[in-house]
Amino acid sequence: MLEPAGRVAMVSGASRGIGRAVAERLACAGYRISAGLRDPRRAPPEWHACRYDAEEAVGAQAWTAATLAEFGRIDVLVNAAGINPMARFLDSDETAFDALMTVNVKAPMRLIRAAWPTLVASGTGRIVNIASLSGKRVRNDNAGYAMAKAALVSLTQAVRREGWEHGIRATAFCPGFVETDMTAHVTKQPRALMSRPEDIAAVIETVVRLPNTASVAELLLNCRHEDML
């Protein structure tokens, strides 16, 4: 297992939910945290907190540059920021669809691109993209969300291919229902029976600490039984 001491982890969406739990877990393990948030005041003082809005194209470069200025290296990038507005494929208004592709696909791609040289320099760079079981199968009307998460899984595979020889290992993490603000409206699964952000964070800590010779390409994590998942 890789030793966290001295290593730097960038976590987007660290203000709440899964991103928050991951940043807390990695900080506890000894990683130095650079948190990307729309409102940096929401991060605890011991983290390096940067304003990062996934809807702004320049945000990735700015946050990455600020992280490098603070720590001089980046070893781990966790793309947890995400949205799920309803986007049916029969809707003629594509506003929600475009937002989904921008925040859930292009923003992680831009962050990976911006951090790439320093992840290569690390020799053991790690990228975790929080995709979803919705990227593996479609079970509700939100085709736009499923399409965006499937695209994020594809991006992860592309990153694995390009990054392998540089020691970069990427993982598409695909949870089912997780008890966060994003699922506050969900009634088909009791909240007490949803996965917990802390449990996802524990798995992610293990994934990013595994050596280059033990790479997890995709992780499917469910709170209920589905055939094959």
Q: Which residues are catalytic?
A: 145
Q: Which of 63, 175, 205, 207 binds ligand NAI (CB under 6 A)?
A: 175
Give the interface segment with ligand NAI, choosing from 10-18, 64-72, 120-128, 201-209 (CB under 6 A).
10-18
Residues 79-116 as b/e (b if ≥16 CB within 10 A, e otherwise) read: bbbbbbeebeeeeeeeebbebbbbbbbbbbbbbbebbb
Residue 19 or 144 having the CB closest to ligand NAI? 19
Nearer to ligand NAI, 122 or 147 (CB): 147
Dihedral sign of CA atoms 133, 135, 137, 140 in order: positive
> Is residue 16 close enough to count as binding ligand NAI by CB under 6 A?
yes
144 in contact with ligand NAI (CB under 6 A): no
Binding residue for ligand NAI, selected from 11, 23, 29, 54, defined by CB under 6 A:
54
Contact 105, 115 (CB under 8 A): no
The pair of three-digit structure tokens given for residue 137, joined into one six-digit string: 């199968």
Per rule CB under 6 A, is residue 83 in the interface with ligand NAI?
yes
The values of phi and psi at residue 11, to 5°, are: -130, 120
For the CB of residue 193, give the shortest distance to ligand NAI in the complex, in Å. Answer: 12
Contact, 169 vs 215, CB < 8 A?
yes
- 8-12 and 32-37 as β-strands: parallel, antiparallel, unpaired? parallel
DSSP 105: I
For the bound state, the minimum distance from the C-beta of residue 53 to ligand NAI, rounded and expressed in Å, comes to 4
85, 146 in Cβ contact below 8 A?
no
C-beta closer to ligand NAI: residue 5 or 228: 228
Among 100, 127, 130, 201, the residue binding ligand NAI under the rule CB under 6 A is 130
32-37 vs 218-221, strand pairing mode: unpaired
Q: Is 52 in the site for ligand NAI (CB under 6 A)?
A: yes
Q: Tell me if residue 8 falls in helix, strand or coil.
A: strand
Which residues contact ligand NAI by CB under 6 A?
13, 15-19, 38, 52-55, 80-84, 103, 130, 132, 175, 177-178, 180-183
